[in-house]
Amino acid sequence: MKRLLVVLGAACFVVLLIGAMLDLAPASIALHAAVSANLPSSGVEHPVTAVLLNFRGYDTLLEIAVLLLALIVILAIGIDSTTDVRPAASPVLQALARLAAPLMIVVAVYLLWVGAFRPGGAFQAGAVLAAAAVLLHLAELLPGWQSPGLRLRLGLAGGFLIFLAVAAGLLFQGALLEYPPEQAGWMILLIESGLTVSLGLILAGLFLLLSRDDGDRS
Amino acid sequence: MSLEFVFDLLLALAIIWSAWRSLSASRLDLAIVMFIVFGLLMALAWARLSASDIGLAEAAIGAGLTGALLLDAYGALKRREA
Amino acid sequence: MSAGLLFASVGVILFALGVAGVLLLGHLLRRILAFNVMGSGAFLVLVGLAQRNGIADPVPQAMVLTGIVVAVAATALALALVRRLYVLTGKIELPQDDEG
C-alpha cells in the first residue's frame, strides 16, 4: 500500500514538474551576461572560479566551514573497529601507489594553478590530493588517523582560517569578501592554495577517520 | 534529429537506468558499483552541459571518493557480520 | 529540446527515484545511495534549467560544484552514523522501520 502510494506520488511529481519546465518562460535576468561583464575586475579569467571565489565567495566560505564541521562531528562520533582485520595489500598495488601518488600531487598543483584560466581549481585539486591519500592508505603505506595532532588540525582548519582572515581583513575597506580589483588575483590564489590543502586533508580525513585500523577508542 | 541529440538521449537513458539499478539491485555491493557507474555517467552529462568543472569534481568526488567511502563501509559491515 | 532541458528532465526523474528510494528502502546504506541520487537530480535540474537556452551559465555551475563537495561530506557523516549505529545495536536499519 505504502509502496503504491509512493510510486504514484513520484510519478505525478515527475509529470507535473517536467510539464512545468517545458512551459517555463525564458529567464528575465541573464546571470551569465552579468558574470562576463564583471569578469575583468574579478582577478581570474575563468568564470566558474570567479563566481566561486569572488562573486559568491560567501558560499564557498560557508561550504568549507560545513566540511570542517562534518569532519569534527565524525571525530566526535568515533568508530571503534576492534575486529577490523584487512587483507594485506598486494605488492603490485603498493608499487603502483608509490608511482601514482607523486604524480597525483603534481596534477593537484596543476589543477590549482590552471583554475584561474580554465576548468580546474581548489575543489578538483583538493579531491585529487584526497584521492592520493586514500590510495596510499589502501596500499597500507599511510596508516589511518587515530586522533589528529596539532599540525594536522592546523592543516584541516587552515583553509577556512585563511579564507576567514582575508574576509575579515577586507571588512575594513568595504564589504565582506569584496576584493579590490588590482589585488584580487593573488588574494584568490592565496585562498585557493589554503583551500586545496584543507580540502584535500578534510576529504582524505573523511575516509581515513572512518577506516581507522585498530580501535583504541570505544 | 541530430547525432548530438541521439547521444544525449542515450546518455540520459543510461543515467536513469544506472540510478534505477543502484537502488533496486538485490546485492548491496552490486548496488554500490552501479552507483559509481552512475557517478561516471553523470560526469559525462556535465561535460555535455559544458560544465567541465563539475564534470571533473563529479568524477573525482561523486564517483571516486563517495564510491570508496561506500565500499569501505560495506566492507566494514561485512567483516563485522562474519 | 535543448540538452539543458533534456538533462533537467532527467534530473526530475532522478529526484523522484531518490525520494521513492529514501521512503521505501529499509537498509540504511541503500537509503544513503538513494539520498545521493536525489542530490544528483537536484543538481541536474539546477544547471540544466538555467542552460535551457543553450548558453553556459557559470553561476549555477559554481553552486553545484559547492553542492557536490557538501554532498560527499554529508554522505561520509551519514556513513559514520550508520557504522556507529551498527556497532551499538547490530542493526543497519532504523528501529521504527516497518517495511511497508
> Which tens digits make up the pLDDT trace of C65-99?
999 999 999 999 999 999 888 888 888 887 765 55
Alpha-carbon distance A204 to B65, whole Å?
Answer: 9
**Is C17 close to A17, i.e. CB distance below 8 A?**
no
Q: Assess if residue C24 is contained within a domain.
A: yes
Task: Please tell me the total count of domains within chain A.
Answer: 1
Point out the least confidently predicted range of A209-213, C32-36, C42-46: A209-213
Treating both helix axes as pointing N-terminal to C-terminal, what angle do C28-50 and B66-81 enclose, rounded to 10 degrees? 170
Kindly list the residues from chain C whose CB atom is less than 8 angstroms away from the CB atom of residue A73: 77, 80
Q: Which residue of B has its CA nearest to A114?
A: B53
ipTM of the complex as predicted: 0.91
Q: Assess if residue A164 is contained within a domain.
A: yes
**Is C62 close to A207, i.e. CB distance below 8 A?**
no
Q: Which chains touch A (3 or more CB pairs under 8 A)?
A: B, C
Question: How much is the mean pLDDT over chain A?
Answer: 85
Q: Band the pLDDT of A1: cuts 50, 70, 90.
A: confident
Kindly list the residues from chain A whose CB atom is less than 8 angstroms away from the CB atom of residue B52: 119
| 3-state percent helix, strand, coil for chain C, nearest multiple of 5 | 75, 0, 25
pLDDT for A209 beyond 90: no
Task: Please tell me the total count of domains within chain C.
Answer: 1
Q: Assess if residue C9 is contained within a domain.
A: yes
Alpha-carbon distance A207 to B61, whole Å?
Answer: 12
C-alpha cell at C14: 532522478
Q: Assess if residue A17 is contained within a domain.
A: no
- What is the percent of chain A where pLDDT is above 70? 92
pLDDT for A217 beyond 60: no
The residue assigned the cell 549505529 is: C85
Question: How much is the mean pLDDT over chain C?
Answer: 89
Residue count (chain B) = 82
Alpha-carbon distance A34 to C11, whole Å?
Answer: 26
Alpha-carbon distance C4 to A17, whole Å?
Answer: 15
Alpha-carbon distance A60 to A66, whole Å?
Answer: 10
Point out the least confidently predicted range of A34-48, A194-208, B59-73: A34-48
Higher-pLDDT residue of A14, C55: A14
Kindly list the residues from chain C whose CB atom is less than 8 angstroms away from the CB atom of residue A131: none
Q: Assess if residue A14 is contained within a domain.
A: no
**Is A131 close to B65, i.e. CB distance below 8 A?**
yes
Assign residue C41 the CATH number of its domain: 1.10.287.3510
Q: Give ∠ CA A77-C98-C88 in degrees, rounded to 5.
A: 25
Which whole number is the average pLDDT over A155-184? 84
C-alpha cell at A149: 595532532
Q: Assess if residue C100 is contained within a domain.
A: no
Chain A closest-CA separation from residue B53 CA (Å): 5
Chain B closest-CA separation from residue A172 CA (Å): 33
Amino acid found at A216: D
Alpha-carbon distance B52 to B43, whole Å?
Answer: 8
Burial class (CB in 10 A: 0-12, 13-18, 19+), C38: buried
Amino acid found at C95: P
Please tell me the predicted confidence (pLDDT) of residue A86.
63
Asked whether A217 and C83 are in contact (CB, 8 A), the reply is no
Asked whether C2 and C68 are in contact (CB, 8 A), the reply is no
pLDDT for A139 beyond 90: no
Alpha-carbon distance A29 to A158, whole Å?
Answer: 37
- Identify the domain containing residue A175 by its residue range: 91-212
Q: Does C9 touch chain A (CB under 8 A)?
A: yes
Please tell me the predicted confidence (pLDDT) of residue C54.
82
Please tell me the predicted confidence (pLDDT) of residue C100.
45
Please tell me the predicted confidence (pLDDT) of residue A169.
84
Q: Does A55 touch chain B (CB under 8 A)?
A: no
Please tell me the predicted confidence (pLDDT) of residue A214.
41
Chain B residues with CB within 8 Å of chain C CB = 4-5, 8-9, 12, 15-16, 19-20, 22-23, 28, 31-32, 35, 38-39, 42, 45-46, 48-51, 53-54, 57-58, 61-62, 65-66, 69-70, 73-74, 76-77, 80
Q: Assess if residue A96 is contained within a domain.
A: yes
Alpha-carbon distance C58 to C81, whole Å?
Answer: 35
Q: Assess if residue C52 is contained within a domain.
A: yes
The DSSP code for B60 is I
Higher-pLDDT residue of B37, A79: B37
Contacts of A207 (CB under 8 A, 6+ apart): A130, A133, A134, A137, B65, B68, B69, B72, C76
Q: Band the pLDDT of A67: cuts 50, 70, 90.
A: very high
Residue A27, SS3 per DSSP: coil
C54-72 confidence digits (pLDDT tens): 888 899 999 999 999 999 9
Q: Assess if residue A42 is contained within a domain.
A: no
Q: Assess if residue A83 is contained within a domain.
A: no
pLDDT for A148 beyond 80: no
Q: Does C74 touch chain A (CB under 8 A)?
A: yes
The DSSP code for A138 is H
**Is B22 close to C37, i.e. CB distance below 8 A?**
yes
- What is the percent of chain B where pLDDT is above 70? 99
Q: Given A81, A127, A206, which is nearest B76 (Cβ)?
A: A81
B-C C-beta contacts closer than 8 Å = 115
- Identify the domain containing residue C41 by its residue range: 3-89
- Strands (E) across A41-181 are located at none
C83: left (phi over 0), alpha (psi -120 to 50) or beta: alpha
Point out the least confidently predicted range of A67-76, A81-90, A147-156, C16-25: A81-90
Asked whether B28 and B1 are in contact (CB, 8 A), the reply is no
Q: Assess if residue C15 is contained within a domain.
A: yes
- Nearest to C72, CA basis, from B62, A72, B52, A63: B62
Q: Assess if residue C95 is contained within a domain.
A: no
Q: Which residue of A has its CA nearest to C25?
A: A3
Please tell me the predicted confidence (pLDDT) of residue A140.
83
- What is the percent of chain A where pLDDT is above 90? 33
Q: Assess if residue A206 is contained within a domain.
A: yes
Q: Given B53, B79, B80, which is nearest A119 (Cβ)?
A: B53
Q: Does A70 touch chain C (CB under 8 A)?
A: yes
Torsion sign (Cα): C28, B70, C74, A68: positive
The residue assigned the cell 571588512 is: A171
Distance of CA C64 to the CA centre of its chain: 12
